[in-house]
Amino acid sequence: MSPRDLTVSVGARSGSYDVVVAVGALDGLPELLRSRAPAFRYAVISDSRVAPLHGESVGAALERDGLDARLFVFPEGEAHKTRESWTSLTDGLLEAGFGRDSAIVAVGGGVTTDLAGFVAATFMRGVPVVQVPTSYLAMIDASVGGKTGVDVPHGKNLVGAFHAPALVVADPAVLTTLSAEERAQGLVEAFKHGAALDASYFDRLASNLPALLDADPDAAQEAVGRSVELKAGVVEADEREGGFRQVLNFGHTLGHAIEAASDFAVGHGTAVAVGMLLEAEVGEALGITESGTRALLEAGLDGLGLPALPALDAERVVGYLATDKKTRGGRPRYVLLRSLGEADPGDGWTHDVPDRLVLEALSARLAAV
Amino acid sequence: MSPRDLTVSVGARSGSYDVVVAVGALDGLPELLRSRAPAFRYAVISDSRVAPLHGESVGAALERDGLDARLFVFPEGEAHKTRESWTSLTDGLLEAGFGRDSAIVAVGGGVTTDLAGFVAATFMRGVPVVQVPTSYLAMIDASVGGKTGVDVPHGKNLVGAFHAPALVVADPAVLTTLSAEERAQGLVEAFKHGAALDASYFDRLASNLPALLDADPDAAQEAVGRSVELKAGVVEADEREGGFRQVLNFGHTLGHAIEAASDFAVGHGTAVAVGMLLEAEVGEALGITESGTRALLEAGLDGLGLPALPALDAERVVGYLATDKKTRGGRPRYVLLRSLGEADPGDGWTHDVPDRLVLEALSARLAAV
């Protein structure tokens, strides 16, 4: 263990669980499973890209250690985070004779942690899941907090369950297997944590950006650790997103609509980055967000070198706001900042915003493309 | 309210909920929803048989009362308790613009309460469900305790979630719309409660059987009330079926396998009744169950006039035991009685039983068909 290794305990309705953040943690996975997530059999779930990189070696390491493990692979990509993949993984486990005394080990990015988590949440009414995130996005955001789910034609993550993991093992050493753009996309969620909860973390991310984009283990360990700490504090206070957990949706109301309107051609990080800027702009226009916040956000995010948005129709984007999970009384809800590092309490930590303001900000942004 | 009207409070991890058991309770549903399950919109879910009997009138009553309600109908029958029906109901709700501030009102038998409960458990990661059971089976068993799920090709209820209802409203007046056989099938679960938990209740059921089969409101109110009390005590002690809740699976290890081996031609009640007799026989052979228990069970169940089993292959039935949710270490587990009215604690309230004994009991029973 290096001095920066970190174990964060997260309180959940189903009992607390540990998030281990340590370079090299993957090597100790069999031992961690034995002690923290004992099971009769382990189903390792990876996508077709991560399986040869990490899934196969994880399965082999478990077997060498005398654990009964079997690898299940689904096709890579957000397009496969579907009820069909969930069905086929579930039936694969049943076909292989997995029972309620099994545990699922999800090895991959956010698509895998969400999809395998939903398989675990619903397999025989729920079996434990161990999340082994291999991307920045999954380490920073997706694997902590118990959200699982799949996309459906009406939108992302509209079907799913809260299912807290038994254990999360994040090993920043594996981030080297990501492309530069994937790293940039995933780091957007770290900036979101800073923007909504901790301005000094936001600044630290901006100044460490070259090392983070380079997957430098020390820089990655520090950022993943701080994001996990911040997120753990939020989900402990409000696991089921009844109130305070909403702050983690900063940038996501418009972000999700942009992703959907592009048929998911726009990456999640790019969409959320634009969503944060637009939601800051709207917040400033309403006098809720301190003037200049949007500019600070833009300066910080600039170093990520995210791709520009493609041409999108603003009205089409607005159309997707109606099916957002955060709607209340049929109206979309927005997390607005008070200032950089501090979300505004609003009404249950979200706000109603006049459609006209949203459409104006969106149209101006899209016209600039 | 008549003197026999009953409200049972059930403790659940997500907070306690009330089960209202009262003749005429359905008339007060809008008021109950306003006070116990407030929501922006209500999705009433019924199957194609119950919709014209009760679902439509429930929806209309809610609307007359100023609530926003809409009826969603799926095809009747266990064959439709599937991931496909779940998908189509979910997409129907999304298409109609239902959001996370909705609640689902399940009006129907056990298929409906399980399926609509699973839709609620997974819609936008969970919305409240109000269970309005219209069959003996659903009032006595399915609607209390938070089990939801669907059947898959490998077996019944293998996919699902624990999702405690916000409220359960059981109105024994609606039992008149069931056929005589449906009443008999559903009452098997009441006998199961007596057999595993309360011998005097078992006897009371047997002596009241003509009135119960006739859906006499007073007799039905008493039985539903007692079953709900017994079940509430069990699920409060062990919501997630980690131990004591297993006792409710008496008769169900072999019952489920018989249903599956008949391709669900055998009714659930018939299968569980035979399962209880066989599991009592096996328990007596092992010296765990008091000698004569099986005969007592048979005498009580006899008055139900359940249909005989069709010809089934015993080996085929045994084959289905391997995919039972109760397997542990790859072995099926059985709830065994100590005596009528008392389950044996075993190891976590279940037992391993030699395959040979099970096969012998099954073969003898099936040879007698």
Task: Let me know: does A186 contact A220? Beta carbons within 8 Å.
Answer: no
Chain A residues in contact with B123 by the CB 8 A cut-off are: 158-159
Chain A residues in contact with B321 by the CB 8 A cut-off are: none
> What are the tens digits of pLDDT across the range B95-117?
999 999 999 999 999 999 999 99
Q: Which residue of B has its CA nearest to A101?
A: B328
User: What is d(CA A26, CA B320) in angstroms, rounded to the nearest whole number?
Assistant: 38
Q: What is the nearest CA distance from A324 to chain B, expressed in angstroms?
A: 8
> What are the tens digits of pLDDT across the range B251-273?
999 999 999 899 889 999 999 99
Average pLDDT over residues B347-354: 95
Task: Please state whether A124 falls in left (phi above 0), alpha (psi between -120 and 50) or beta.
Answer: left
pLDDT of amino acid B3: 58
Chain B residues in contact with A90 by the CB 8 A cut-off are: 152, 158-159
Q: What is the nearest CA distance from A57 to chain B, expressed in angstroms?
A: 25
Task: Let me know: does A277 contact A290? Beta carbons within 8 Å.
Answer: no
| B189 flagged as catalytic | yes
| Cβ-proximal residues to A345 (8 Å cutoff; 6+ apart), any chain | none
Instruction: Write down the catalytic residue from B54, B80, B193, B268.
Output: B268
pLDDT of amino acid A356: 94
Instruction: Write down the catalytic residue from B183, B245, B333, B365.
Output: B245
ipTM of this complex prediction, to 2 decimal places: 0.92
Q: What is the nearest CA distance from A329 to chain B, expressed in angstroms?
A: 6
> What are the tens digits of pLDDT across the range B323-349?
777 788 889 999 999 999 999 999 999
User: What is d(CA A149, CA A357) in angstroms, rounded to the nearest whole number?
Assistant: 31
Count of other CB atoms within 10 angstroms of residue B220: 29
| A80 flagged as catalytic | no
User: What is d(CA B137, CA B185) in angstroms, rounded to the nearest whole number?
Assistant: 7
pTM confidence score: 0.93
On the 0-12 / 13-18 / 19+ scale of CB atoms within 10 A, B285 is: middle
Chain A residues in contact with B14 by the CB 8 A cut-off are: 13
Of A64, A115, A63, residue with least CA distance to A90: A115
Q: Which residue of A has its CA nearest to B332?
A: A99
| A342 flagged as catalytic | no
Dihedral (Cα; B173, B179, B181, B183), 10-degree rounding: -10
For A122, which of B91, B154, B161 is closest by C-beta distance?
B161
Pick from A94, A100, A125 the residue to mutate for testing the B interface (most B CBs within 10 Å): A125
pLDDT of amino acid B34: 96
pLDDT (tens, 9 = 90+) of chain A, 369 residues, equals 465 789 999 988 878 999 999 999 999 999 999 999 999 999 999 999 999 999 999 999 999 999 999 999 999 998 999 999 999 999 999 999 999 999 999 999 999 999 999 999 999 999 999 999 999 999 998 888 999 999 999 888 999 999 999 999 999 999 999 999 999 999 999 999 999 999 999 999 999 999 999 999 999 999 999 999 999 999 999 888 889 999 999 999 999 999 989 988 999 999 999 999 999 999 999 999 999 999 999 999 999 999 999 999 999 999 999 877 778 888 999 999 999 999 999 999 999 999 999 999 999 999 877
**B154 vs A329: CB contact, 8 Å cut-off?**
no
| B241 flagged as catalytic | yes
Q: Which residue of B has its CA nearest to A95?
A: B154
In the structure encoding, which two tokens stand for residue B29, read together?
């549903």
Chain A residues in contact with B40 by the CB 8 A cut-off are: 328-330
Instruction: Write down the catalytic residue from B249, B284, B294, B365.
Output: B249
Q: What is the nearest CA distance from B125 to chain A, expressed in angstroms?
A: 4
Helix (H) or strand (E) holding A259: helix A252-261
B63 pLDDT above the threshold of 80: yes
| B245 flagged as catalytic | yes
Alpha-helical segments (H) within A167-251: 180-197, 199-207, 209-213, 217-237
pLDDT of amino acid B13: 83
Sheet with A17-21, side-by-side order of all strands: A6-10, A17-21, A167-170, A129-133, A102-108, A41-47, A69-74
Task: Let me know: does A247 contact A349? Beta carbons within 8 Å.
Answer: yes
**B330 vs A126: CB contact, 8 Å cut-off?**
no
Q: What is the nearest CA distance from B222 to chain A, expressed in angstroms?
A: 31
For B158, which of A83, A124, A329 is closest by C-beta distance?
A124
Chain B residues in contact with A329 by the CB 8 A cut-off are: 40, 101
Q: Which residue of B has its CA nearest to A148?
A: B125
For B330, which of A99, A122, A157 is closest by C-beta distance?
A99
Report in angstroms the alpha-carbon separations of A267 from B9, B41, B363.
48, 33, 60
In the structure encoding, which two tokens stand for residue A243, read together?
């109130």
User: What is d(CA B89, CA B71) in angstroms, rounded to the nearest whole number?
Assistant: 11
| B208 flagged as catalytic | no
Q: Which residue of B has its CA nearest to A151?
A: B124
Q: Residue A74: what are its φ and ψ, rounded to 5°?
A: -125, 160
Chain B residues in contact with A97 by the CB 8 A cut-off are: 322-323, 330
Chain B residues in contact with A127 by the CB 8 A cut-off are: none
> What are the tens digits of pLDDT across the range B162-187?
999 999 999 999 999 999 999 999 99
Pick from A124, A152, A238, A246 the residue to mutate for testing the B interface (most B CBs within 10 Å): A124
DSSP string across B113-155:
HHHHHHHHHHBTT---EEEEE-SHHIIIIITSS-EEEEEETTE
For B122, which of A100, A155, A159 is closest by C-beta distance?
A159
Q: Which residue of A has its CA nearest to B96?
A: A323
**A322 vs B14: CB contact, 8 Å cut-off?**
no
Of A64, A174, A50, A158, residue with least CA distance to A113: A50
Of B188, B253, B175, B177, residue with least CA distance to B218: B175
| A208 flagged as catalytic | no
| A256 flagged as catalytic | yes
pLDDT of amino acid B1: 47
pLDDT of amino acid B327: 82
**B99 vs A240: CB contact, 8 Å cut-off?**
no
Chain B residues in contact with A148 by the CB 8 A cut-off are: 125
* CB-defined contacts A:B, below 8 A: 114
Chain A residues in contact with B91 by the CB 8 A cut-off are: 152-154
**B14 vs A14: CB contact, 8 Å cut-off?**
no
> What are the tens digits of pLDDT across the range B20-38?
999 999 999 999 999 999 9
Instruction: Write down the catalytic residue from B49, B163, B189, B239.
Output: B189
Q: Mean pLDDT in chain B? A: 94
